[in-house]
Amino acid sequence: MTASRVVMRDTGGGFGQKAVPQREEMCVMLAARKMPGPLKWIEDRQENLIAAGQGRHEHGDARIAFDEDGRCSPT
């Protein structure tokens, strides 16, 4: 395994996509391991806002069961 260097610049204020790596970022990380030289992901602000976690349509289903006392119970 080769050494990796991660540079984290100042992320600014309290808004934006700083918490969780998205699919594209994971692909870039995997591709960087295969490339002989540096690899860079470039997107403009509009592309970032459209593709960011807050801008994607995500859907999830959940099932919760409650007992007679109103406590959550395993399904």
pLDDT in tens, 24-44: 788 888 888 888 888 888 888
Instruction: Please give the share of the chain, as a percent, with pLDDT higher than 90.
Output: 0
34 in helix, strand or coil?
helix
pLDDT at 1 over 70: no
For residue 6 the two structure tokens come to 């991660």
- H-assigned helices in 1-68: 23-34, 45-51
pTM of the full structure: 0.42
Residues near 59 by beta carbon (within 8 Å), at least 6 away in sequence: none
pLDDT at 16 over 60: no
pLDDT at 70 over 60: yes
